[in-house]
Amino acid sequence: MTKLFRKFIILGILIGIVLSILNYKKIHRNILMRFYTKEYQYYVEKYSNEYEVDSNLIFAIIKAESNFNESAVSNKDAKGLMQLMYPTAVDVAKVLDVEIDEEKVLEPQYNIMIGTKYMSMLFNKYQNAGLALAAYNAGSGNVDKWITEGTIDVNGANIENIPYKETNNYVRKILRNYHIYKEIYA
């Protein structure tokens, strides 16, 4: 009886190990989903579809820029979920034919609409997510200069050569977040 009992114990442990391994991915995914949320999903999906930008990229930007804090204001006065500079928000709002003011920039609907349209414009200009993100952070003028000087390639192949440490880290962080969003929400 003890040999049979030991076999059942060993079999139970083995079944437990196999089930743990099979559930690991699910558990891991569920934990990641708590940290990589999809708050404001309605607006992100709506404007991502409208402006043809991957919604996971927009979530990755929001995660890095404000961690989904709609009232976030940076020390450089960037505002809202997508941390828009007011002059940029005004320029993009004109393209969209939308009235904008300092308070509306903080409203999730307008912030996501304008930020997503801006990313769409940058992506259309550079045809590369890394370069578009660099321009979102450091400005198109800087990215154009880096391309002209040969610091980074026009195709973004050597994006790690971005000379501004903050922008270099920013691009890496967003791209990492983007890959995580794609993995857990696939």
Active-site choice (65, 70, 103, 107): 65
Is 65 among the catalytic positions?
A: yes
Whole-number Å distance between alpha carbons of 40 and 68: 8
Instruction: Just list the catalytic residues.
Output: 65
